[in-house]
Amino acid sequence: MFRRLLIANRGEIAVRIIRACREMGITSIAVYSTADRDSLHTVLADESICIGPAEANESYRNIPAIIAAAEITDAQAIHPGYGFLSESAKFASICLECRLAFIGPNPKTLSLSGDKAACRKAVEAAGVPVVPGSPGIIQDPEEAVKIAEKIGFPLVVKATHGGGGKGMRIAHNDATLKHDVAMAASEARAAFGNGGVYLEKYIEGARHIEFQIVADQFGRIVSLGERECTIQRRHQKLIEETPSTALSASLRSRMAKAALRAARAIGYTNVGTVEFLLSPNGQYYFIEFNARIQVEHGVTEEVTGIDLVREQIRLAAGEPLGYSSVIPRGAAIEARIYAEDPELNFRPSPGIIKRCHIPGGPGIRVDTHLFPGYEVSRYYDALLAKVIARGKNRQEAIARLVGALEEFLTDGVSNTARLATRIVRGDRFRRGDIGPDLLEEYLPSIG
């Protein structure tokens, strides 16, 4: 097992990884930008080192700075967290060249999972249903029109190297389709340095269901159950839960098997997530991998009792999975709280947290990097906290989550806690009647 591990991230996930290290007896080494000098990860880690200025490209995304930091601190492994360099095949392979263990899948898997069109092909070839669409990259707008004739509108134009909703457009007819293909390609070229786009049928009313998988280096791979992540705003998830109210036991079992097949198809190792769309008529389609720890991993931890960050580290160190199946117990729901103002179209709200109260009590876990005096920086993600409630059933988890969200208080920055409270207290959420349209009911009408 590693003795010294460098964390190439910040915020709550860096704190989460520090805690896993502490529990495992591993010395944690934080890296920080000048904006994060007083951040919680900087002070909680066993050691910490400044790697650059506030701009993430010069610090948290700066590969030479992070490798140099690992070298001068004698780190043996690097945990990339989520975002930043976490899914960079290039970073993973540089780590390996520098004899640093990268906590995640191998670079080849990362390359494939990062190329969505190629990944879709590989997964489809393994017999997993994918959303009907183009067989690969669209060469020109005319080809798009031909494919559209076969699969019908509406269609989603997607960048093969896109992510988080960027490089994605919905086309409703031939006229706009050509334009959308051209625009998406140039957007993607600008944003991701790769202009390849492909087409997928737009599945109306689909729910977003993902499966957590863990895979060791000896070919054993296990599903830890699903997470329902349908409640999103512009691809930013707000509420996640497990189990999903959409899945029967038999559908769950079929989807879990599909997730494992998909993961095997790209040679997945370590901890990851397989994302599906689930149409209202119960048909599921693979959409993509998240080849890293997910923000919402905590809900799975709460029902399985498995520490996923510890699993990442163990598996990267070459240890085997100690189980061949896991039976989740109870229910867990997470509400993400962002420093954004829902009344002002979710405008980011940077500022200093003057005072805050973090809820607690039975069944409540809050993963956060907040403390009184912390400055929410405009340079980074607006995630403030993840409030996670577990219960022996969904009803108990909801009651606990509502109580905790009502308790959550910060001043100094606007946040989405009250919006989250209204959603989870609402009838639709309580009934489990979740769909992509649910959030709209809670947004201020744009007059």
Partner 1 sequence: MDLGELQELIKILEGSQLAEMEIEEEGRRVRLSKLTAAQMAAPMHFLTNPAGQAVPTAQNPDAQEQSNLRGNGLITIDSPMVGTFYASSAPGKPPFVLPGDTVEPNQTVCIIEAMKIMNEVTAKLPVIIEKVLVENGEPVEYGQPLFTARPLI
| Catalytic site positions | 292
Of 381, 374, 341, 377, residue with least CA distance to 355: 374
H or E stretch at 72 = helix 63-72
Binding mask 370-409 toward its own copies (x if CB under 8 A, else -) reads -xx-------------------x------xx-xx--xx--
Burial class (CB in 10 A: 0-12, 13-18, 19+), 411: middle
Do you find a cis peptide bond into 243, omega within 30 degrees of 0? yes
- Interface with its own copies, residue 317, by CB under 8 A: no
C-alpha 228/C-alpha 242 separation (Å) is 6
The yes or no reply on residue 410 touching its own copies (CB under 8 A) is no
- Tell me which residues in 367-386 interact with partner 1 (CB under 8 A): 371-375
Whichever of 46 and 143 has its CB closer to partner 1, that residue is 46
Give which of its own copies, partner 1, none residue 55 binds (C-beta under 5 to 8 Å, depending on kind): none
- Site residues for its own copies, 228-287, by CB under 8 A, read none
Should residue 49 be labelled a site residue for partner 1 when binding is judged by CB under 8 A? yes
Look up residue 185 and give its amino acid: A
Sign of CA dihedral 284, 210, 240, 412: negative
From partner 1, its own copies, none, interface partner of 45 (C-beta below 5 to 8 A by class): partner 1
Enumerate residues 6+ apart whose C-beta is below 8 A from 305.
329
Binding flag, residue 352, partner 1 (CB under 8 A): yes
Q: Is 251 exposed, middle or buried (0-12, 13-18, 19+ CB in 10 A)?
A: middle
Q: Does residue 357 belong to the site contacting partner 1 (CB under 8 A)?
A: yes
Helix, strand and coil in the chain, % to nearest 5:
35, 30, 35
**CB–CB of 46/25 below 8 Å?**
no
Q: In terms of CB distance, is 164 or 372 closer to partner 1? A: 372
Query: Site for its own copies (CB under 8 A): which residue of 86, 113, 223, 368?
Result: 368
Q: Binding of its own copies at residue 22 (CB under 8 A)? A: yes
Residue (77 or 203) nearer to partner 1, CB: 77
Binding range to partner 1, per CB under 8 A, among 63-71, 175-183, 291-299, 308-316: 63-71
Q: Which is nearer to its own copies, 179 or 392 (CB)?
A: 392
Q: Which of 404, 206, 225, 214 is nearest to 299 (CA)?
A: 225
In the list its own copies, partner 1, none, the entry touching 328 (Cβ below 5 to 8 angstroms by class) is none
CB of 139 to partner 1, least distance (A): 38
| CA angle (235 as vertex; 229, 237 as ends), nearest 5 | 40
Listed in order, strand segments (DSSP E) in 219-312 are 221-233, 236-242, 270-278, 284-290
> Which residues from 94-153 bind partner 1, rule CB under 8 A?
98
Please name which of 376, 427, 378, 385 lies closest in space to residue 408, comparing C-alpha atoms: 385
Among 87, 124, 296, 302, binds its own copies (CB under 8 A): 302
Site string for partner 1, 395-434 (x = CB under 8 A): -----------x--x-x-----------------------
The CB-of-192 to partner 1 minimum distance in angstroms stands at 24
- Which element (helix H / strand E) includes 347? strand 347-348
Q: Is 360 in the site for its own copies (CB under 8 A)?
A: yes
Task: Tell me how crowded residue 257 is: count the other CB atoms within 10 A of its CB.
Answer: 13
For partner 1, which residue of 21, 65, 156, 181 counts as binding (CB under 8 A)? 65
Task: Tell me which residue has tokens 């709209």.
Answer: 440
Residues binding its own copies (CB under 8 A): 15-16, 19-20, 22-25, 44, 298, 301-302, 305, 307, 329-330, 355, 357-368, 371-372, 392, 399-400, 402-403, 406-407
Residue ranges that bind partner 1, judged by CB under 8 A: 27, 29, 34, 37-38, 40, 43-53, 59, 63-65, 67-69, 71-73, 98, 352, 354-355, 357, 371-375, 406, 409, 411
